[in-house]
Amino acid sequence: MTVMEFSIFPLDKGTGLSKYVAEVIKIVEKSGLPFNLGPMGTVVEGELADLQKLLENCHEYMESVSDRVYMTAKFDTRKGAKDRITGKIESVKKALNSNDLS
């Protein structure tokens, strides 16, 4: 399973972009994949092919309203791991309480 963080926005719509982001979130919701809306991007977990399809759908929408679209994405794939949207944060919090690297 892959965890992806992505952001997408138009370059020709000025400074207020929340209504465009909202449309993207609707597309993410329709995908049925677990996701987490953040202040700088949305995190989604799934098979890479499904994540790529989601990016295409979001991009298709954004192209329909804008002449220049910018999109960033990063992907983290760990063999045998799942439920990582919550799991990765829990691992860090656990390490915060217990580790001693000094």
Query: Measured from the CB of residue 33, what is the shortest distance to a second copy in angstroms?
Result: 13
Q: Give me the residues paired with residue 23 across strands.
A: none
Question: Closest approach of Cβ 31 to a second copy, in Å?
Answer: 15
Closest contact distance (angstroms) between CB of 9 and a second copy is 7
SS3 79: coil
Distances from the Cα of 75 to the Cα of 15, 25, 34, 52, 57, angstroms: 27, 18, 15, 11, 17
Q: Which is nearer to a second copy, 32 or 93 (CB)?
A: 93
Spatial contact of 37 and 85, defined as CB atoms under 8 Å apart: no
- In the complex with a second copy, the residue whose CB is nearer, 31 or 87, is 87
Residue 13 corresponds to which amino acid?
Answer: K
Distance CA 25, CA 51 (A): 14
CB of residue 68 to a second copy, shortest distance in Å: 4
Contact residues toward a second copy (CB under 8 A) are 3-5, 7, 9, 11-15, 17-19, 21-23, 25-26, 36-41, 43, 48-49, 52, 55-56, 59, 63, 65, 67-80, 84-89, 91-96, 99, 101
